[in-house]
Structure 1
Amino acid sequence: MSKGRGEPAAAPGLVLSYLREQNRPYSAQDVFGNLQRDHGLGKAAVVKALEQLAQQGRIREKVYGKQKIYFADQDEFDTVSDTDLKDLDDEILSLTAKVQSVQQSCRHMEAELKELTSSLTTPDICKEIEELKKECAKYTERLNKIKAATNHVTPEEKEKVYQEKQKYHREWRKRKRMATELFDAILEGYPKSKKQFFEEVGIETDEDYNIALPDP
């Protein structure tokens, strides 16, 4: 019967090719784990192949305590000069900077995509505008009916509404004063202008809509 690719006879060649290709130190367990999946080599075959290759001088073996490390014979590779190493280091730095730049761009694009995904689409906005127009027309019609009606509000009811209006005006001034004081305290240590702070935080003021506090 001919030998399959995962049988012991093929192990030395597969192990040698793998160590040369990777050119880094491995334990017998590492080599077995990396080759077993693709080539079906058993651990005993891998260990035997490593020991055989080391005895033949085709790979190098180092002992660290109870563990043995195997790696390709470095004499088989071209000598790398200091200049070549520096060029490789420069290339690594350049590629690292490029990777960081691309990662930053990806983060910005992901944030923009998230914002766009959470926003209403144009058809949804048009639909919402139409619904608001209908609602506004309904309230306008109701308001006109109220304005056209006469002698349906008693003096007591009118006084109650007036008192509530005064109460809400006072609350309006109070909350606006508190908010203004809070913003002023924050802006003392804020490096940008008040306008930039409001834009970044998303604060809308009465002045943005030409609204003024009623007289006391």
Structure 2
Amino acid sequence: MSKKESAALEFIFAYINEKNRPYSVQDVFTNLQKQHGLGKTAVSKAMEQLTVEGKIKEKTYGKQKIYFADQAQFEEVSEAELKAMDSHISELSTQVQTVSQSCRQLDTELKELKSSLTTEEMISEIQELKAECSGYRERLGKIKSATNHITPEQKEKVYKERNLYVKEWKKRKRLASDMMGSILEGYPKTKKQFLEEVGVETDEDYQVTVPTT
């Protein structure tokens, strides 16, 4: 037997005795592979060898074999000792739950802290906000100090007058267009020549468009 195989036997035998619980080959391979680098075939052979030597026990459930420590090697435990162990296990389980809950809470707090701004970042952001507020105050001051403000009533009056003038503009432009259309029906020259002869200047000459509203 090679040193590697001998070492595997020692590791697995010690592990099964220490844990003292039933394991399959897959269980032992999964638990020891990362720490000791044992292959599944090596684990299987080692456990079979330990069974043949009588160091561990084997039971078959269907197609699966389960291996466990030989209970004869352990001292008998009284009922009182078993109850004491159960009580101790219960206490430890409670402690584990308490510690786990505390860890989850600390983990949540850590995530919150990581997502929060640092003191330097907070100071920088405050300075930026102050500068932004200063700009707004300056702009508001200029608006308040201006002398060309108009009241809502004055604004409404201006819009009404504008609409009235635009409506009249459109009306007169339409009348003028209709008149020119009638004249041009018997005019021997082009519309452009007609406008030049009578000295009419159009909106288009000054790139003026009639507002849509």
Q: Distance in 2 between matches of 1:90 and 1:159?
A: 91
Identical aligned residues as a percent: 47
The CA distance in 2 between the partners of 1:110 and 1:12, in whole Å, is 39
Matches within 5 A, 1:10-89: 10=6, 14=10, 19-26=16-23, 37-38=37-38, 42=42, 45-46=45-46, 49-50=49-50, 52-54=52-54, 59-65=56-62, 68-89=65-86
> Given the alignment of the two structures, is residue 122 of structure 1 paired with residue 119 of structure 2, yes or no?
yes
Counterpart for residue 156 of structure 1:
154
Take 1:101 and 1:61, find their aligned partners in 2: how far apart are those partners?
Answer: 38
CA 1:12/1:75 → structure 2, altered by over 3 Å: closer, same or farther? Answer: farther
Q: Which residue of 2 aligns with 1:145?
A: 142
How many residues align? The count is 153
- CA RMSD for the aligned pairs? 3.8
SS at match of 1:128: helix
Q: Which amino acid aligns with 1:53?
A: E
- SS in structure 2 of the partner of residue 24 of structure 1: coil
Label 1:157 to 1:123 Cα distance change in 2 as closer, same or farther (>3 A).
farther
Q: Distance in 2 between matches of 1:17 and 1:142?
A: 81
Q: What pairs up with 1:176-215 in 2 under 5 angstroms?
A: none
User: Any unmatched runs of 5+ in structure 1?
Assistant: 161-216
Residue 67 to residue 136, structure 1, CA distance change in 2 (3 Å): closer
Secondary structure in 1 matching 2:3: coil
CA contact (8 A) 1:61 1:69 kept: yes
Distance in 2, matches of 1:115 and 1:139, equals: 33
- Once the two structures are TM-superposed, the CA of residue 89 in structure 1 deviates from its matched residue by 0.9
Q: Higher mean Cα deviation, 78-87 or 146-155?
A: 146-155
Asked if the contact 1:24–1:72 (Cα under 8 Å) also holds between the matched residues in 2, the reply is: yes
TM-score (norm 1): 0.52
Alignment of 1:158-177 (within 5 A): none
Q: How many angstroms does 1:96 deviate by?
A: 1.0
Offset from partner CA, 1:101-147 (integer Å, 9 cap, x none): 11111122122222222222222222222222222222222222222
Shift in Å at residue 76 of structure 1?
A: 1.5
Whole-angstrom CA distance in 1 between matches of 2:61 and 2:41: 25
The structural deviation recorded for 1:66 is: 5.5
The verdict on how the C-alpha distance between 1:157 and 1:135 changes in structure 2, with shifts beyond 3 A counting, is farther
Structure 2: unaligned runs, 5 residues or longer? 159-213
CA distance in 2, matches of 1:66, 1:135: 75
In the alignment, what sits opposite 2:90?
93
The structure whose Rg is larger is 2
